[in-house]
Amino acid sequence: MSGSLLSAKETAERLFAGMTQHGASDLHIKVGYPPYYRIAGQLRKLDMPPFPNSAFIEEMLSDMIPEGRLAEFERDGALDFSTRGSTGDRYRINVYRSTGETHASIRHVRSEIPDFEELHLPKVYSDTIANSSDGLILISGVTGSGKSSTLAAMIEYINTVHSMHILTIEDPVEFVFRPKKSIISQREIGVDVANYHDALRSMVRQDPDCLMIGELRDRETMVAALQAAETGHLVLGSIHGADAQQTFTRILEFFPREEHPFVRSSLASSLRAILCQRLIPGIEEDSQYPATEVLLRNSVVRDKILHEEDEDIPAIIAQSENEGMRSFATSLVELIETEKIHYDTAMEYAPSREALGSALKGIKTSGQSLVGRGRR
């Protein structure tokens, strides 16, 4: 994309169209910088002039900000919302103040809802959903690990095979679902309901069978998810965590220490699975593949949760892979064996190089094509 003088509106149209053309997941807009795309996890600077000032960026985004929410941005210095482009694709936008200037981060959400196969997720993901009519299923990972796409694939799977009322609470709505066997109500914070507190307070009165909470971000959202799961609802939610053990730590950080016994008891009875994922650069240019860790609740996991023995979780996963659980090491080995990622890239991203090294013992790699390249 070569540089030229464009109006704010023309610049926005060009950048949004370019996201689809170049397969970019994100667009970063900052005063004094040219635009940047994120493609396959890597930032790429565009050959365009720097954004001159906040007024230019605000004019770019002015038609996209939902009516009545500009005051929220002026008050809080940040605003989340979504919009639909001319191609039908949706964009999740966070506009925020930084050093007194207006900046924005924009996530491209494709109009097509991906399925598990397209996302290269193991069969245990669909099996977990197929075998769960209630309880709590958590999708865990760091920012940019594909949690939203995985949640969308799960909701679409339920929509296809089950007859349920699915209620989602999102900030903002990303993928838009169409009813198949299920009926679906999507509520967007700031558009359909003022805040998470109001949405969570009323959600069980709306007769849902399945609840999807876009992000479990604090004590209030976590309590609502646990209570709904304990009262017979199927609850899906995303949470930030590098692995299953860290996910437990993250949940408990939402609560004061004196409430931990209650939280552990609730998790022990309602948790169905923690599905962790991280995206790994692939051998093919601009490709990524998910490495996954899967913890399924069984009697042993239940006891470990109750007795505050979370440090044993990695060993339980490694010893229970014949029951459907899955370690990051096993996932990385599969990606190496199928020549999707390089050996040294796997080592770079492995949570435990020692565990990956042990898992790779006796496995023959196919020479330089697997071990010769690392992360680009």
What dihedral do alpha carbons 67, 68, 72, 78 form, nearest 10°? Answer: 0
Q: What is the mean pLDDT of residues 261-281?
A: 97
Q: Give the pLDDT confidence of 353-370 residue by residue, as tens digits.
A: 988 998 888 564 444 344
pLDDT in tens, 26-64: 999 999 999 999 998 899 999 999 999 999 999 999 989
d(CA 326, CA 80): 34
In whole angstroms, give the CA distance from residue 172 to residue 135.
24
pLDDT of residue 362: 52
Per residue in 185-222, pLDDT (tens digit) is 999 998 899 889 999 999 989 999 999 999 999 999 99
Single out the residue of 257, 253, 250 nearest to residue 274, CA to CA.
250
pTM of structure: 0.85
* Topology of the domain comprising 123-326: Rossmann fold (3.40.50)
Domain boundaries, the chain: 8-109, 123-326
Domain 8-109 classification at class level: alpha beta
pLDDT at 376 > cutoff 80: no
Residues 156-189: tens digit of each pLDDT: 999 999 999 999 999 888 899 999 999 999 999 9
